[in-house]
Chain A
Amino acid sequence: MSENILTILIFSPLVALALVLLLPVKSKKAFPWISLVITGIQLLIACSIILQSGDTIQTGVNVESQFQLIEKHPWLQLSMGTLGNFSINYFVGMDGLNSSMMLLTSIILFIAAISAFEIKTKTKGFHALFLLLNTSINGCFLALDFFLFYLFFEFMLLPMYFLIGIWGGARREYASIKFFIYTLAGSVLILIVMIGLYTSVIDPAATAVKTGLAQNIESVSDAQVNQIQEMLLNGTLPSEEYVRTFDMISMMDAKNYIPNSVFFKGNINSFFGENARLIAFLLLIIGLAIKLPAVPVHTWLPDAHVEAPTCISVVLAGILLKIGGYGILRIPYSIFPEGAIHFAWWLGLGGLIAIVYAAFVALGTHNLKKMIAYSSISHMGFVLLGIASLTAEGINGAIYQMFSHGIISGMLFLVAGVLYYRTKDLEIEHYKGISSKMPIYSALVTIAFFASLGLPGFSGFIAELFVFLGAFQSHEVNNLLPAWMAITATLGLILGAAYYLWTLQRMFLGNFWSRNESKILSDVTSRELVMLIPLAVISLVLGIFPKLLLDLFEPSVAYFVDFIQETGKQNLEIIFQANN
């Protein structure tokens, strides 16, 4: 396999983008095909990466050598006088935490590219933005340098803003700016921590080169790294020699923190009476929770979903939300593990509230897409609950839920899109007995609904089962989440069944009636089947053979949980000692 395979995966859409820009506006037919072909190639690449690595997906997390397909090239070396030097690397790699997300991204983008054939206006612009979005999503999942992650994370907003704002529904302008400002607020919080982190952390290898201990980065040995870290702790390393870094792996090692910098773990300085590291954890969590989204910062999501065109809804629900969940594992948990323990109860509560509250709201909505949007929030609550439990089961469940929800929500928005494409109306009360007019469609909707409400045999069941196992065990294993949280969360399942079944009954069963009688309700076309069937099959297969997916991340998660528990506890002790 080529060494630069991840770079190819991330940046191949840009090549296609160049092609899109070169073609004249008139060649309308070509644009969707370009997107389709390039996402198809990406899907093949992603599958081949997963297949070839097979059982050997490495644990990764905080050990650089345990990542796969690493590419690390110096990008920027800035020397800012007495502010010191800092280095930004182009650093991508794959481990158990992001391999499944990479696969999910490719699948969903491919499906979305098929769905994008429905876009008939300004196709050139649409596909140009779609390809830009594609690059930034892939980049975001694979980046291991904080700057790079932030770059992709924030750059994603711009194409999304235009995709919703230009091709969306009636209230698209409001929805798109709301989406932009909400998510930007999140990324500003992340930016604050990023500035704090890079001024606190050095890259020992690069510093070794700078001090002249080693010739170049490749030749730096572990002993030299240790030597630098010791010098740093003793204060014998002059500050002009510091090479500050955005490298996330370096940030996960407490030895790389400059003594008495803000995020140095023995630092007793506090902000507003809290330890700086714990505050940083909170800021990151809030920033990413907006993306997830968690209650009460979720309100952008229903608006964005209702207004976005179908294929963008699919991308939004299928992948973008997962960046929140994945980001929580990769950044705040890995870099500030003590926060994971300290705030576990609150995170669990946040998850619980999202599960129950969003399910209640979904029960009361009148718009099919809005209902699906709220069900998404509810399901992402399970991710937060699973992560908060900090048990192997819980986090496995969370990642499984992210994947499964990606597939299922993609399906749900597609079925909503099928109806919308025909009638431009998604009010639940405006239909009755659709099944008599569109039998195949109704069957697919039923499958999607049942998969989403967690029927055994579908992937959602496995995911939620794992999350519940984790959440229940938590009070025995690590005493982080009380049992009542897990018990109350089951309410989400019951409510889920309620709103899905009720909608099914209201819209699809009984005698046919529709408020817009003039519109012809024809059954699904073969193109729509091509999108829906594979997703249904994936959900079914993963519901029956969970091992297929679990194998990708189980070893990583096991290692991750141990790492967080261990370092988290140590750091918490240091913090509380310092405070006393």
Chain B
Amino acid sequence: MKEQINDILLSAGKLIPELWLLVLATFVLLFSIFTQDKKQLFNTVLSLAGLAIHLYLLYIQPKETGKLFLGNLEMYSQTVFFKVVFTFSAIFSISLSFFGKRNNNIKSGEYLSLLLFLLLGLHFMSMSANFLMLYLSIEIVSFSSYMLTYFNYDKRSVEGSMKYLLFGAFSTALMLYGISLIYGFTNSLEFEAIGKITQLAGTEIGLLACGLLFIGLLFKLAAFPFQGWAPDAYEAAPTPFVAFLSIAPKAGAIFIFCVLWEKSGLSSSKESILNYLVAAVAMLSILFGNLSAVWQNSSKRLLAYSSIAHTGFILIPIFGISNGSMPSLQFYIFIFLFMNFAAFSWVYFLEQKFGSDQISLMKGSAKAQIFPAILILITMISLTGLPITAGFTAKLLIFSTLWQQVQSGNSLMIALFTVGIFNVLIALYYYLKMPYFSFFKTPPITSVPFLLNKKQQLFLSVMVFPLLLFFFKPDWLLAVINYLN
């Protein structure tokens, strides 16, 4: 008993960043209630400052791996990296809201505190070592997401968030079923149980349990065929939150996916059916995302489909997870964070200007203002995965991890490799749409030109700069990743 109490007390000391986040989120909520949400600017600045302190706390936290709270949580070696990614996306997302109109929903205390609670959920997700913990943290993330999706308070956002909620409830139910199967057969809720299930329950049940469990994660990742909610939710939600949604929960889900994958021992048996299924999911996500994006006229939907395609790419390193593909995944996620935010912030600026996100509104914007057009061109080239941007390096690393599987002659892996690499061609076509309208088309004489102010240009530049920097110096980013691991 005493040992257990000691363990809990010791563990609590290692959760200082999370505790701080909890305090921050609660304070932001209470503050907005007591000021009747009239000090929105203060609240936003406060959240940003709090997150900066949170980053600092993460930085000074001693790097120890190991289990906490009687095995409910675990500090994995990559946990800190992913927490940093979550926090960065929250910071960027909140900063973006500065560019919105005054008295915007997305500056309200409600919105901010929900976002911070979501962030907290992600932190616990990246530390969970127990299915119950995982389930709880996923639900924190999900419920905050459902509500945040609704924050435009219009008809479209009701539809979007409702769809998200229904899909989400369904998928977590499936996941819960998978977890209960594992618990039933192994009598344990710890992640290690997943490695024993096939022994204890037979291959079929084991695969079923793992498969159901992974469906929950694939849903969070918006991988095909669990992507149905994504375009509608993205279209409905406030754009700064969409940018957050398209990166942070995905990063969390893929990380836990990797942890479970490694623990399940599935990666060692190359011929396992789950290997095939996940490879197929990755391949179809890439194909479906890219092919659907080609037809979009709304820039937000285009990016929604593009992020489905990117889900396919971030699933690829899973197959090499026991061969050290983790840094490649981390590299990809980090670059994805910046390119996605660059793209979504451009869309947000467009929305603020015209009240719509139609790509055709960008007509001739390069003529009016060349610099932002160049920035968005770099972003799109990076999303496609062409030099001289870090998007290329990220894809190169991802495909290098897959090459080992290709080398073994596994035909599905060869197919995944080929599909992935040739999708650059489809991707190029639709990613060039925005630069195409911006550079090639002349603006209609009647309309106002799409101009960005200095602050907006600065924000875009900050997002785009790493895309160039880490092409020429990927070793720097890898050094940071190694340092955080």
Taking the complex as formed, is B381 at the interface, i.e. its CB lies under 8 A from any CB of chain A? yes
The yes or no answer to A188 lying at the interface (CB within 8 A) is yes
**How distant is the Cα of A157 from the Cα of B392 in the complex, in angstroms?**
15
Q: Is A261 an interface residue (CB 8 A)?
A: yes
Q: Give min CB distance, A278 to chain B, whole Å.
A: 15
A459 to chain B, nearest CB (A): 35
Q: A154–B473 Cα gap in the complex (Å)? A: 19
Answer yes or no: A494 CB below 8 A from chain B CBs.
no
Asked whether any CB of chain A lies closer than 8 Å to the CB of B425, the reply is: yes
Most chain B beta-carbon neighbours within 10 Å: one of A76, A185, A196? A76
Render B390-427 as a binary contact track against A, CB cut-off 8 A, 1 for contact.
00000011011101101101000010011001101100
Chain A residues with Cβ below 8 Å from B259 are none
Chain A residues closer than 8 Å to B422, beta-carbon distance: 185, 188
Q: How far is the CA of A266 from the CA of B424 in the complex (A)?
A: 33
> Which residues of chain A come closer than 8 Å to B429, judged between CB atoms?
177, 181
A403 to B396, CA, bound (A): 34
Is A81 a contact of B327 with CB atoms below 8 Å?
Answer: yes
Mask: chain A, 165-207; 1 = CB below 8 Å from B; 0 = not: 1100000010001001100110010011001101100000000
The answer on a CB contact under 8 Å between A192 and B421 is: yes
Residues of A within 8 A of B418 (CB): 192
A156-B397 Cα distance, complex, nearest whole Å? 22
Contact call A151/B387, Cβ cutoff below 8 A:
yes
Given contacts A181-B425, A188-B422, A269-B409, contact A83 B386 (CB under 8 A): no
Is B440 positioned at the interface, with any CB of A under 8 Å from its CB?
yes
Interface check B436, CB cutoff 8 A: yes
Q: Are B401 and A158 in contact (CB under 8 A)?
A: no
B440: chain A residues at CB < 8 Å are: 165-166, 173
> From residue 297 to 343 of chain B, which have CB atoms closer than 8 A to chain A?
320, 323-328
Is A80 part of the contact surface with B, judged by Cβ < 8 Å? yes
Interface flag for B478 (CB, 8 Å) = yes
Q: In the complex, what residue of chain A is closest to B322 when comparing beta carbons?
A: A82
Closest A residue, CB atoms, query B473: A76
- The distance in angstroms between the C-alpha atoms of A154 and B388, with both chains bound, is 9
Size of A's binding interface in residues, CB under 8 A: 37
Task: Indicate with 1 or 0, residue by residue over A282-293, a CB within 8 angstroms of chain B CB atoms.
Answer: 000000000000
Partner among A78, A151, A161, A261 whose Cβ is within 8 Å of the Cβ of B475? A78
Q: Is the pair A199, B403 in contact by a Cβ cutoff of 8 Å? A: yes
Q: Could you say which of A125, A151, A188 has the most chain B C-beta atoms within 10 Å of its C-beta? A: A188
For residue A53, CB closer than 8 A to chain B, the reply is no
> Does any Cβ of B come within 8 Å of A91's Cβ?
no
Inter-chain contact B403/A80, CB cutoff 8 Å: no
A262 at the interface (CB under 8 A from B): yes
Query: Any chain A CB within 8 A of the CB of B55?
Result: no
CB <8 Å contact, A154 and B323: no
Measured between beta carbons, the chain B residues less than 8 angstroms from A80 are: 324, 327-328, 397, 400, 478
| Shortest Cβ gap from A323 to chain B (Å) | 16
Contact A154 B386 (CB under 8 A): yes
The answer to whether A166 and B424 touch across the interface, beta carbons within 8 angstroms, is: no
Residues on A with beta carbons closer than 8 Å to the beta carbon of B288: none
- In the bound assembly, the distance between CA atoms of A32 and B388 in angstroms comes to 26
Report chain A residues within 8 Å CB of B327.
80-81
Q: Are A76 and B323 in contact, CB atoms less than 8 angstroms apart?
A: no
Neighbour of A158 across the interface among B381, B414, B474, CB < 8 A: B381
| B331 CB, min distance to chain A CBs, angstroms | 9
A242 at the binding interface (Cβ < 8 Å)? no
Which residues of chain B are near A155, meaning CB under 8 Å? 386-388
Q: Which of B320, B401, B432 has the most CB of A within 10 A?
A: B432
Instruction: Assess whether B439 is interfacial by the CB under 8 Å rule.
Output: yes
CB distance from A274 to the nearest CB of B (A): 12
The answer, yes or no, to whether B15 is at the interface (CB within 8 Å) is no
Docked-complex contact A81 and B439, CB < 8 angstroms: no
Complex Cα–Cα for A154 and B421 (A): 14
Would you call B428 an interface residue if the criterion is a C-beta within 8 Å of the partner chain's C-beta atoms? Answer: yes
Given contacts A181-B428, A191-B421, A192-B421, whether A173 and B386 have CB atoms under 8 Å apart is no
Contact partners of B400 in chain A: CB under 8 A = 80, 83, 195, 198-199
A-B contact count (CB 8 A): 89
Question: A191 to B478, alpha carbons, bound, how many Å?
Answer: 22
Determine which residue in A81, A177, A199, A261 has the highest number of CB atoms from chain B within 10 A of its CB, and name it. A81
Chain B residues with Cβ below 8 Å from A261 are 407
**B407:A78 contact, CB within 8 angstroms:** no
- Chain B interface: which size bin? 35 or more
Task: State whether the Cβ of A162 lies closer than 8 Å to any Cβ in chain B.
Answer: yes
A251 vs B401: C-alpha distance in the bound complex, in angstroms? 20
CB of A79 within 8 Å of the partner chain: yes
Interface of chain A residues 221 through 239 with chain B (CB within 8 A): none
Of A154, A161, A196, which one neighbours B387 at CB under 8 angstroms? A154
Q: Which residues of B contact A181 (CB under 8 A)?
A: 425, 428-429
CB distance from B381 to the nearest CB of A (A): 7
Which listed residue, A83, A192, A195, A271, touches B325 by the CB 8 Å rule?
Answer: A83
Q: Which of chain B's residues have a CB closer than 8 A to the CB of A488?
A: none
**Residue A52 at the chain B interface, CB threshold 8 Å:** no
Contact B388 A151 (CB under 8 A): yes
Chain A residues closer than 8 Å to B401, beta-carbon distance: 83
Cβ–Cβ contact B388 & A188, under 8 A: no
- The CA-CA distance from A81 to B403 in the complex, in Å, is 15
Taking the closest CB of chain B, its distance from the CB of A300, in whole angstroms, is: 13
Chain B, Cβ-Cβ closest to A80: B327
Q: B370 — which chain A residues lie within 8 A by C-beta?
A: 125
Give the CA-CA distance A150 to B385 in the complex, in Å. Answer: 13
- B325 neighbours in A (Cβ, 8 Å): 83
A155 to B389, CA, bound (A): 10
Q: A76–B475 contact, CB under 8 A?
A: yes
Rounded to whole angstroms, the CA-CA distance of A173 and B429 in the bound complex is: 12
Q: What sequence of 0s and 1s flags, for each residue 125-158 of chain A, a beta carbon within 8 Å of any chain B beta carbon?
A: 1000000000000000000000000110011011
In the complex, which of the residues A76, A185, A270 contacts B425, with contact meaning CB atoms closer than 8 Å? A185
Q: How far is the CA of A188 from the CA of B436 in the complex (A)?
A: 22
A176 nearest CB neighbor, chain B only: B440
Is A579 part of the contact surface with B, judged by Cβ < 8 Å? no
**CB-based contact A83/B324 at 8 Å:** yes
- A269 to B320: give the CA distance in the assembly, Å: 20
Q: Nearest CB to that of A200 among chain B residues?
A: B407
Tell me if B403 and A195 are in contact (CB < 8 A): yes
- A77 close to chain B: CB less than 8 A: yes
Partner of B424, one of A83, A151, A184: A184
- What residue in chain B is nearest A77 (Cβ atoms)? B475
Residues facing A in B421-473 (CB within 8 A) are: 421-422, 424-425, 428-429, 432, 436, 439-440, 473
A158 contact set on B, CB distance < 8 A: 381, 386
Q: Which of A82, A151, A271 contacts B414 (CB 8 A)?
A: A271
**Given known A-B contacts A188-B424, A188-B425, A195-B400, A162 and B439 have beta carbons under 8 A apart:** yes
Across the interface, which residues of B come within 8 angstroms of A166, CB to CB? 439-440
Known: A154-B386, A191-B421, A271-B414. A165 touches B439 (CB 8 A): yes
Provide the bound-state CA to CA distance between A387 and B52, in Å: 62
Query: What is the bound-complex CA distance between A316 and B428, given in angstroms?
Result: 21
A243 to chain B, nearest CB (A): 14
Question: B residues near A, CB below 8 A?
Answer: 320, 323-328, 370, 381, 386-388, 396-397, 399-401, 403-404, 406-407, 409, 414, 417-418, 421-422, 424-425, 428-429, 432, 436, 439-440, 473-475, 478
**Given A80-B328, A83-B324, 9 further pairs, Cβ under 8 A:** A81-B324, A82-B323, A83-B320, A162-B439, A165-B436, A184-B386, A188-B425, A192-B418, A262-B407
Q: Which positions in A face B, CB cutoff 8 Å? A: 76-83, 125, 150-151, 154-155, 157-158, 161-162, 165-166, 173, 177, 180-181, 184-185, 188, 191-192, 195-196, 198-199, 261-262, 269-271
> What 7 A-B pairs are tightest by C-beta distance, nearest first?
A82-B324, A81-B324, A151-B387, A262-B407, A154-B387, A195-B403, A165-B440
Could you list 23 examples of A-B contacts with CB < 8 Å? A76-B474, A76-B475, A80-B324, A80-B397, A80-B400, A80-B478, A81-B326, A82-B324, A83-B325, A154-B386, A157-B386, A161-B432, A165-B440, A166-B440, A177-B436, A181-B425, A184-B386, A184-B424, A185-B425, A191-B396, A192-B421, A269-B407, A271-B409
